Amino acid sequence: MRSQTSKRTGEWKSRIASELIEILGTDAVISSEDELIAYESDGLTGYRVKPVFVVLPSSTEQVSQVVKLCNREEMPFVPRGAGTGLSGGALPSREGIVVSLSRMNRILEVDIPNRVVVVEPGVVNISVTNAVSAEGFYYAPDPSSQIVCTIGGNVAENSGGVHCLKYGVTTNHVLGVEMVLPDGAIVKLGGMTLESFGYDLLSLVVGSEGLLGIVTKVFLRIIKKPQMVKTLFASFERIEDAGASVSAIISSGVIPAGMEIMDNLSINAVESTVGAGYPTDAGAILLVELDGPGAEVNVQTPTVSEILKGNGAIEIKVAVDENERQLFWKGRKSAFAAMGRISPGYYVQDGVIPRSSLARVLGEIGELGKRYGLRVANVFHAGDGNLHPLVLYDPEIKGESEKAEELSGEILRVCVDAGGSITGEHGVGFDKKRFLPLMFSEQEIDTMNLVRCAFDEKGLCNPGKVFPTPRTCVEPGMQNHSSKPPPKEMGEFF
Amino acid sequence: MSCVAKLSDMVSGFHIPGSGDADTNALQLGFSPEVILYPETVEEISRVLDFASRNGIRIFPFAGGTKLFLGNPVSTIGAALSLKRLCRVLFHEPSDMVSTVECGMEIREFQKIIGRENQVFPVDPPRLACGATIGGLVSTNLCGPMSSRYGTCRELILGAKAVRADGEIINLGGKVVKNVAGYDIPKLMVGSLGTLCVLAEVTFRLYPRQPSSRTLVVGFDDHDSCSRAARSILNADVIPTCFEILDEKLSSEFSATRGAKRSVLLRLDSFEDAVVEQIKQVKEITSGESASFVETDDEFSRDLWDSVREFPFSNEVSFSSKLTLPIEDSIKVLYDIESASELSGVEVRCLSRPIRGIVLVSVSGESSRAHGTAHFLENLADVLGGRIMFSGIRHELREKIKTWGNFGEALLLMKNIKRRFDPGNILPGEKIFDAD
């Protein structure tokens, strides 16, 4: 992207402000320094950048006009949902605009017979389930921030949740999107159907971290609520035994809706905060949630119970009613917040490892914690190997936050060395882009850039994220070796 | 030495069509390349593509050659690149339920290998029994009845090693079931018909084998009672592995329920007690619709599912088509399609897979009438907000029926992607894109 620094004068700013106001109205354009502060960061508050403007469009057409203006001015723009992301994906771009989708928050259509709900991107995740719950349906992806995070953000990050082991992540539940491309064009990809033909562009857009355009409408698949849900709680002396139970349960033919492990440090943090009734002397606890047809769950429950016993569970409880089930989950759901009780600061990671290496990786994380002199609490989606190590530190102690950040990076290295990933659901964003080369070669990252260039040749849409170093879009063919021109009749295909 | 001859030097094996024993898979190509290359490693594929892209030689990748009927016909091709010698399971960690397999491996063989660990790779595409490979599965994204529970291979793919048109070897995605690092390019490869990269290896998630499996066939006297029953099943607390609705002709030809106007075919897999309970439930909720029931034995159900899996891709028809529709419409349209075919005097066979919103149709008849039916189906998909794909189009209709219907607004972006990945159109873009 060409540097436009010289154009960003006061006169330029007031001209752009007038144009934005003309498109959106005065109440939808924020430019005062005080108000911009709220948009300086997302859930990853360690990084802050003040944008030039924040705009709050109410329609796809307005988004398109704003993006066309950005395109003409070569001004970067960053889409933003609820700002709950943990990877800095909605961090503003210097000299750019933040396009907040918070006013596009309508549920446009609820179609029960076809099992589709059409929403604007600013709709809060839990609202989708609330809209169809009375009919016996729900929206499956349930990130822990589901009472505040929005569908637009979920699409950008390909969000998961505690139930994605059985039901998949956002990409398995998005049937289509309407989006504004980085040149302002409005396109619809997919729609009311589960399958489509041609290149699967939808799979690129879901999880693209806002780099391919701005999604303005989403077609979501809803599924039937399970007839029966049973939640089992088990405590173990050793976390390794909890891990072994997870593999054994799946090998038996049972795929639970979710399986969550918490280690001793997390248990104690939670108990001192919400009192979920977890045994504070346990090495780990495991929650297993089974759901489905009653006939199936009734068979699976004793099977799982036996497996837990066989793997050394000290105590096994099956929730007798919804109240007890909620209590089991209360501890898990408040785990992040509870860390504030035992530490003034913490850094969350999102690495993924193969289930089979759980015990080894947890051991290595423990060793790393000792080496850095920091405590690491472990809370994780055990079924799919998605770890959320919480590195605890005191920001008042000089150098400790840097140390925590470094330790977090080391943990990601351990995950990748074990055959895993640097992120399972939070996204690469700004925070982890430097770690992308741990997983991918230059050529592989270049290949990802081919996708970005196919959507956003000028690189204006959410720049500075995901890619570890800035990449431009070379004219097709130029990045390759000097090939002979294709036969004329072949060139006609493009 | 010609350029094509140089390509032959880069791989472990090659065959010049017309000389010596022919490769039976290659005989189905439908065109005659100058050479068929048989690489044994991904590095050999890389050398071929590097050289081909420098020299403007067009390459056609294939493996089992069992689904070459999909997509537009290809034009000038220099070399066909067979992946059949890349046929090993490279990685299988049973406790992770993840496996990496080379693209030339037959799906059946792969299923057999992972089956030893009591795991399943839950796909059943057409041509499964006659050599369909992993590479063909991914590049065509064709699926079978089991997609009702497990989705297509799009839902199963975790990672892929591929060779770009310029010869670069890329390894994208990963080996874990949850991973959002970078764009999901492995999914982009699904259904791309080998037009973007040559796939060499794919990593999939696997599932545990269910202890018990039963098939239930329910016959109905008319369309309406079948539709009501199908909706009730969709809303019931049962999780079918397969759920298909057959029209009258298919009901009879597949020996599902002779004389019935419609049949519903269900396969339920779970623990024995749970299967029994779910079958009981289906019988209860459909018994009010004058339904007849057959719980099939193993052999009969195997034959039945084999027939369903292969439908509608046959050489004996004017064309086959696959419609993707909203769920409710995929139940309703069987009646519309049947009525329209009676009026136009063509022979139509029709199957619906309601959980996926899929309708499969085969049409036989006089050329102009068959063309009229194709037009009707295309309109139907369009009006209902769905999509359509045609295949096996009889020669005289090829100019008249567009294979892919209408890609809509996605077309421009698709062309951008192709142009970025393969600016020289070394790989056969014409399988997907019509000439402008």
Best residue of B156, B180, B285 to probe chain A, by most A CBs closer than 10 Å:
B180
Which pLDDT score is estimated for B18? Answer: 77
Q: Does A33 touch chain B (CB under 8 A)?
A: no
Interface mutation vs chain A, best among B90, B116, B179, most A CBs within 10 Å: B179
Q: Looking at the predicted structure, is the pLDDT value of residue A295 above 70?
A: yes
Measure CB to CB from residue B425 to each of A352, A451, A493 and give the nearest one. Answer: A493
CA dihedral for A421, A427, A433, A434, sign (positive or negative): negative
A33-47, A216-230, B192-206: segment of lowest average pLDDT: A33-47
Q: How far is B179 from chain A (nearest CA, A)?
A: 4
CA distance A260 to A365: 18
Cα nearest neighbour of A225 on chain B? B237
- Residue B237: how many other CB atoms lie within 10 Å: 17
Architecture of the domain defined by B212-310: 2-Layer Sandwich (3.30)
Q: Which class does domain A107-224 fall in?
A: alpha beta
What pLDDT shows up at residue A490?
40
Query: What per-residue confidence (pLDDT) applies to B25?
Result: 56
Q: Do B410 and A486 touch (CB under 8 A)?
A: no
User: Can you tell me whether residue B394 is helix, strand or coil?
Assistant: coil
Across A3-7, A27-31, B43-47, B170-174, least confident range: A3-7
Query: Is B274 in Cβ contact with A293 (below 8 Å)?
Result: yes
**Chain B residues with CB-CB distance to A483 below 8 A:** 53-56, 166, 423-424, 426
- Domain B3-82 in CATH 3.50.50.60? The answer is no
Contact check, Cβ <8 Å, A493/B435: yes
| Strand-pair category, A376-381 with A284-292 | unpaired
Specify the pLDDT at position A478.
59
Question: CA of A34 to nearest chain B CA: how many angstroms apart?
Answer: 35
User: Does the pLDDT value for residue B32 go beyond 60?
Assistant: yes
Ranges for all domains in chain B classified under CATH 3.30.465.10: 89-208
Are B278 and A445 an interchain contact pair (Cβ–Cβ within 8 Å)?
A: no
What's the CATH fold of domain A5-100? 3.30.43
Q: Which of A101-105, B252-256, B339-343 has the lowest mean pLDDT?
A: B252-256
Q: Choose which CATH entry (3.40.50.2300, 3.30.70.600, 1.20.5.510, 3.90.1150.10) describes domain B319-397.
A: 3.30.70.600
Residue B8 and residue B22: Cα distance in Å, rounded? Answer: 16
Q: Yes or no: say if B401 and B371 are a contact pair by the CB < 8 Å rule.
A: yes
Q: How far is A474 from chain B (nearest CA, A)?
A: 9
Of B23 and B98, the one with more pLDDT = B98
Which of A224 and B291 is assigned the larger pLDDT? A224
Overall average pLDDT of the A143-158 stretch: 95
Quote the strand ranges of B73-121, DSSP E: 79-82, 89-93, 98-102, 119-120
The tokens for A448 are 């990802």
Compute the average pLDDT of residues A180-199: 97
ipTM over cut 0.85: yes
Does the distance separating the beta carbons of A483 and B183 come in below 8 Å? no
Does the structure show a pLDDT above 70 at A31? yes
Q: Which amino acid is at B396?
A: E
8 Å CB contact of B404 and A206: no
CB–CB contact A490 B76 (8 Å): yes
Q: Do domains A5-100 and A226-341 have the same CATH topology?
A: no
Q: What are the pLDDT digits (tens) for B349-372?
A: 999 999 999 999 999 999 999 999
Q: A422 to chain B: which residues are within 8 Å by CB?
A: 181
The SS3 of residue B28 is coil
Cα gap B320→B392, rounded to integer Å = 6
Mean pLDDT (whole number) for B115-134:
96
Q: Which of A87, A167, A174, A200 to mutate to test the interface with B (most CBs of B within 10 A)?
A: A200
Q: Which of B380, B389, B196, B219 is nearest to B287 (CA)?
A: B219
Q: What is the mean pLDDT of residues A225-233?
A: 96
pLDDT at B24: 59
Q: pLDDT band at residue B22, thresholds of 50, 70 and 90?
A: low
Residues of A in contact with B419 (CB under 8 A): 454, 476, 494
CATH number of A226-341: 3.30.70.2190
Q: Among residues A242, A226, A222, which one has the least CA distance to residue A234?
A: A242
CB B328 within 8 A of CB B368: no
Strands (E), B186-233: 197-205, 207-208, 212-220
φ, ψ of residue A86 in degrees (nearest 5): -110, 10
A interface mutation test: which of B178, B271, B384, B427 has the most A CBs within 10 A?
B178
Averaged confidence pLDDT in chain A: 92
Q: What angle do CA A490, B1, B2 make, to 5 degrees?
A: 15
Question: CATH code for B89-208?
Answer: 3.30.465.10
Chain B residues inside the 8 Å CB shell of A296:
239, 270-271, 274, 278
Give yes or no for a contact between B362 and B390, defined as CB atoms under 8 angstroms apart. Answer: no
Please report, for residues B7, B145, B152, B300, B384, the alpha-carbon distance to residue B49 in angstroms, rounded to integers and kept in the order given. Answer: 9, 36, 29, 47, 42
| Set of chain B residues whose Cβ sits within 8 Å of the Cβ of A295 | 270, 273-274, 276-278
Q: Residue A258: phi, psi to the nearest 5?
A: -160, 150
B341 and B363 Cβ atoms separated by less than 8 Å:
yes
Angle at B210 between CA B206 and CA B212, to 5 degrees: 155
User: What mean pLDDT is predicted for residues A198-207?
Assistant: 98
Exposed, middle or buried by CB within 10 Å (0-12, 13-18, 19+), for B140? buried
Q: Does A488 touch chain B (CB under 8 A)?
A: no
Residue B387, chain A, CB below 8 Å: the answer is yes
Tell me the C-alpha distance between A462 and A97, whole Å.
10
Residue B373 has pLDDT above 60, yes or no: yes
Is B97 in Cβ contact with A250 (below 8 Å)? Answer: yes
Give the Å distances, CA to CA, from B100 to A441, B157, B202, B207, B293: 19, 10, 6, 14, 41
Determine which of B157, B158, B183, B427 to mutate to test the interface with A (most A C-beta atoms within 10 Å).
B183
Q: How do residues B150-180 score in pLDDT, each as one tens digit?
A: 999 999 999 999 999 999 999 999 999 999 9
A398, pLDDT greater than 80: yes
Interface of A with B in 74-93 (CB under 8 A): none
Chain A residues close to B408, C-beta within 8 Å: 188
Q: What size, in residues, is chain A?
A: 494
User: Domain A343-427 maps to which CATH number in 3.90.1150.10, 3.30.70.2740, 3.20.20.10, 1.10.3090.10?
Assistant: 3.30.70.2740
Looking at the partner chain, which of A192, A352, A432 has a beta carbon nearest the beta carbon of B179? A352
Predicted confidence (pLDDT) at residue B305 exceeds the cutoff of 80: yes
Q: What is the pLDDT of residue A215?
A: 98
Percentage with pLDDT > 70 across chain A = 95
Check CB contact of B284 with chain A, cutoff 8 Å. Answer: no
B interface mutation test: which of A225, A483, A484 has the most B CBs within 10 A? Answer: A483
CB contact under 8 A, A385 and B187: no
pLDDT of residue B220: 94
Cβ separation of B182 and A448 shorter than 8 Å? yes
Token match 């961090």: residue?
Answer: A91
Identify which has the larger pLDDT, A24 or B25. Answer: A24
- Across the interface, do B182 and A481 touch by the CB < 8 Å criterion? no
Quote the mean pLDDT of chain B.
93
Q: Where exactly are the structural domains of chain A?
A: 5-100, 107-224, 226-341, 343-427
Beta carbons of A436 and B56 less than 8 Å apart: no
B382 in A contact zone (CB under 8 Å) = no
Q: Residue B428: CA atoms inside 13 Å, Cβ hemisphere, count?
A: 25
Q: pLDDT by residue (tens digit) across B401-412?
A: 999 988 989 999
**Cβ under 8 Å to A: B residues 50-79:** 50, 53-56, 58, 75-76
Every domain range in chain B assigned CATH 3.30.43.10: 3-82
Residues 238-277 on B with a CB inside 8 Å of A are 238-239, 270-271, 273-274, 276-277
Q: Would you state the pLDDT for residue A359?
A: 85
Distance between A27 CA and the closest CA of chain B, angstroms? 33
- Percentage of chain B exceeding pLDDT 70: 97
Instruction: Measure CB to CB from residue A423 to each of B151, B169, B181 and give the nearest one.
Output: B181
Beta bridge partners of A215: A179
Residue recorded with tokens 């960061």: A41
* Residue A128 vs residue A161, higher pLDDT: A128
pLDDT in tens, A434-491: 999 999 999 999 999 999 999 999 999 999 999 999 999 987 665 544 444 444 444 3
Name the band, by pLDDT with cuts 50, 70 and 90, for residue A8.
confident
Q: Which of residues 125-154 of A touch B (CB under 8 A)?
A: 136
Chain A nearest CA to B21, separation (Å):
31
pLDDT computed for residue B255 by the predictor: 76
Please, which residues 406-425 of chain B have a Cβ atom closer than 8 Å to chain A? Answer: 407-421, 423-425
Predicted confidence (pLDDT) at residue A268 exceeds the cutoff of 60:
yes
Asked if A250 has any chain B CB less than 8 Å from its own CB, the reply is: yes
Assess whether pLDDT exceeds 90 at residue B257. Answer: no
Residue B402 to chain A, least CA–CA distance (Å): 13
Residues of B in contact with A487 (CB under 8 A): 56, 58, 76
Q: What number of C-beta contacts closer than 8 Å exist between A and B? A: 326
Q: Round to the nearest angstrom and report the end-to-end CA distance of chain B.
A: 35
Give the tens place of pLDDT for each residue, B384-397.
999 999 999 999 99
pLDDT at position A232, please?
Answer: 97
Q: What is the mean pLDDT of residues A111-131?
A: 98
* Chain B residues closer than 8 Å to A188 by CB: 408-410
